[in-house]
Structure 1
Amino acid sequence: MIFLSGFANRLPLRGFQGASLSSLLSSVLKKGGRDVIHSFGKRNCSFSSTVEVSEFEHDGFHDDAKSTEKDAALYLALSRLSGDFDKESPLCLRRFFGIRRVPVVSTGSLKLDLALGVGGLPKGRFVEIYGLEASGKTTLALHIIKEAQKAGGVCAYFDVENAIDPFLVESMGVDTQSLLISHPNSAENLLSAVDTLTKSGAVDVIVVDSVAALVPQCEIDVSLGSSIWFKSSDGSESIDEYTCGGNALKFYAAIRLRLKKTGLLENENKEVTGLGISVQVVKNKLAPAMKKAELGLQFGRGFRCESEVLELACNHGVIVKEGNSYLIEGEVFSNKHAAEKHLAENEMIYDNLVSILRKLLFETRRERR
């Protein structure tokens, strides 16, 4: 599940009654998370300066009888967990290693997939994509939907902002006929729909665009005359970075991506045709975090994936480059622009190169591990 959010100033609102958006998200995310087993046993600790010697005595020699007794007690505890909850509750090392290689959905960008370390975004996890306005958040979400549809998956898009452009979505290659689109009128309705789709297990990608536009029903019902107090700032305090939705998304998200504009893209006539985007993996529970990917976003088309495919293919010897010329499957192109145009116009050649690069970049790494 993918949540798109922007930045928010820390301005407390007073005068509203009922649950806040942060508490709503927290309660729903808890229901969608994995089962947690709490231990209620506590051991008393002594803070006195005198400590008895018996507390530091080593355990005795290994006793087979005690070991067998421990194994039996552990087996009994796991059996109770299996009976009280489900068959997936027992804790075992084999099951832990079995879920380390989770299935992923490609982001559509090989550079970003490399930065994520696992080849894409993991299925069954929460992902938060945040950044300033017009930084490419929706574009990235649509690319993820496109890749999921290529693999035969079903996707849902919750347009809370009511700002989705069907023509832009189709121009990026997304199949709008099979895409589930909804315009929820409150946070409760959206979270209820998300919960239903998640429990069905039939939807591969769910996008919420965006968290900033979610409003609880209790705040919608409040009259305009209710008082709202804002915290004034004189600029002396340090301005921290806050994302919408409170801390719930930060804690429950397996991956957090921060998007930032780095510059403008221009054509030969010095006309602005797109933006340079920097994507930083701020949080990653599946691989090392804090890696970056520099991407190019072209207006009306999305990310310039053919540019990074050409670069990675040359670096790994899939495409031969001599000077400014490129050799792609027997055809020679005099410059980079011509080579990128050829890849953009020939989907079969592009997909073949992506398939080869994914095997080199990801499957080879998994075999080494």
Structure 2
Amino acid sequence: MQTWILHIDMDAFFASVEQMDNPELRGKPVAVGGSSDRGVVSAASYEVRKFGVRSAMSVVKARQLCPDIILVPGRMKRYKEISALAMGVLQEFSPTVEKASVDEAYLDGTGLERLFGPIDELGRQIKARMKEVTGLTCSVGAAPVRFLAKIASDMNKPDGMFIIQPHEVEPFLHTLPVKKIPGVGKKLLQILNRYRVITCGDILKHDRAFWQERLGKYGGALHDRARGIDPNGVVTTSAAKSCSAENTFSEDTGDRGQLTKWLLAQSERVGSDLRRHGYKGRTVTLKVKFADFKQITRSKTLSARTDNTTVIFETACELLAQVELRRAVRLIGVGVSNFEGKVRQITLFEDAPETVEQTSELDRAVDAVRQRFGSGAVTRMELLSMKKHKK
């Protein structure tokens, strides 16, 4: 039986939702993001992309490229609502769907020909149903392996479909720029350029051992991709790898007291998220971005897994104390990772693992109050001044 994996990517998702909800924005150069000069574009409509505007670009640069750009604030709650509808559509076609992000997913199409016809017919039905349910267009890529399905979905955007048949894999890869392979970034491209590698066909001028010797395990994987080999399939459940919170300030600051308050607020958000999802992590990471956009991270691995707000906060403060603030700070954030699996329920016949730090009574009480009365029902005294001055 022929294996088929499909990658479904919603077209300019955030911006398309805004244009759908507000007809006055349709056909206009719309971008989602902060409107201040310190803001960043988080999504760009196809109309504004024609001017060179892209996500992650500063608002200042975006305005230079397109003076008529229309900036609208993001509405993550609305995007998640439409995303849930989109994922529901995909599950109508296959029980094996992997949500890759809020606007993209993989679908295992193996054996679905008996229900929906050839793979291109399946793709057309998915696109039609997606438009009917969400009101938005999507692009579909299909291939015998996962990484090629993702590449294919980007070939005919927007509202496109691209199918790579099994017999087309080798010729398709031969001329495919190596930078198109998911995971190949700037540093790897620089290394490959030294060996005059531009396309996947260039990689195959050397054997697997050649690339393993120079790039280690990544060399072997790269050679496999160039041959159309990808052992990864569609995974229906994916455990979280980290949980974090960060804030970009309206004005740069070097005030450690103010930074500490932000770390406390962020530690509360991270701790609450961890407890709600049943995760505990061993590694706490501090992220600091300075006014010149230089970014650093500092991490500490704890002796026990934790979801304790105080432990996260105190560790973050310890890491901040090690950072010299020679420049003002633009952004600060804290995260927890290294979960070592989801925390499971202990049965009556087991003792709780000694390495797992217990959730504090204070955290439990605060979580319970906020769950019942809302996130703003309880505020730590240290954060009251921040709450009063928040806009």
Into which bin does the TM-score normalised by the smaller protein fall? under 0.3
Task: Provide the TM-score with structure 1 as the length reference.
Answer: 0.26
Greater fraction helix = 2
Higher relative contact order (CA 8 A, sep 6+): 1
TM-score, normalized by length of structure 2?
A: 0.25
